[in-house]
Copies of this chain bind each other. A is one copy, B any other.
Amino acid sequence: MSSIRQALLSLLAREPLSGYDIKQRMNNRLGPFWKVGSNQVYPELARMEEEGLVALQGIEQHDYRPARKLYEITEAGKEAVIRWTTESGGADQYRDDFLLKAYNSWLVDPERMIEGVREMKKQHEEKLAAYEAKVAELTSQPAGGIVADQLFSSISVIEFGVRYERLYVEWCEELIAKLSRREPG
């Protein structure tokens, strides 16, 4: 099963959404955790509707705006998400271009390399700040019932992001330190 499909169903399991909503959720809210384009969202929604995993709940029309096609998950869709969520699968392989660049660090001038690492560090610091803000925002939200469980799940995931970015930043710092020692002078 394709991963976008899983992502869409996971979002729709929480609330009815339009294709546009989904794109926003993925690119802004949880992004840059997962990015998708309209080309993936709309055709996949159509395919899932055909297969009965989602259903068109209705079409909203606000003034002049283009019509919003709201989709909701069906029972079959919910079952599919639950099945996938509980089924066991191998760990995804981690893949990052920048690690490959670090693997090539012996090839290039340390000073040049340090520049690149600093830049990367900065980018991850920004992500870290964004995730931390998001955790704070979600944590301060008082809620009960099913929503509390949803919040708990969301926070767990973003918490992972926070730690991941922290680890990345620390690793960059140490790499810079090590490369500095190698520098002539």
> B-contacting residues of A (Cβ < 8 Å)?
3, 6-7, 10, 13, 31-35, 78, 81-82, 84-86, 88-108, 112-113, 115-116, 119-120, 123-124, 127, 146, 149-150, 152-154, 156-157, 159-161, 163-164, 167, 170-171, 175, 178, 182
Please, which residues of chain B bring their CB within 8 A of the CB of A10? 100, 103-104
Q: Knowing A34-B95, A94-B161 touch, does A103 contact B154 (C-beta < 8 A)?
A: yes
Partner of A86, one of B98, B112, B153, B159: B112
Contact A153 B35 (CB under 8 A): no
Contact A149 B108 (CB under 8 A): no
Please, which residues of chain B bring their CB within 8 A of the CB of A149? 105-106, 182
Q: A85-B108, A91-B123, A105-B153 are in contact. List 5 more A-B contacts (CB 8 A).
A: A84-B101, A88-B119, A92-B95, A92-B96, A102-B160
- In the assembled complex, the CB of A30 is this many whole angstroms from the nearest CB of chain B, namely 9
Contact A99 B32 (CB under 8 A): no
Taken together as a complex, chains A and B put the C-alpha atoms of A98 and B107 apart, in Å, by: 35
Contact A163 B157 (CB under 8 A): no
Q: What are the nearest 9 A-B pairs in CB distance? A: A106-B149, A85-B104, A91-B123, A106-B153, A105-B153, A85-B101, A106-B150, A86-B112, A92-B96
A-B contacts, 23 of them at CB < 8 A, read A13-B107, A33-B94, A33-B95, A34-B93, A82-B107, A85-B105, A85-B108, A88-B119, A91-B124, A92-B98, A94-B164, A102-B157, A103-B153, A103-B156, A104-B153, A105-B153, A106-B149, A152-B178, A156-B178, A159-B171, A163-B170, A164-B164, A167-B167
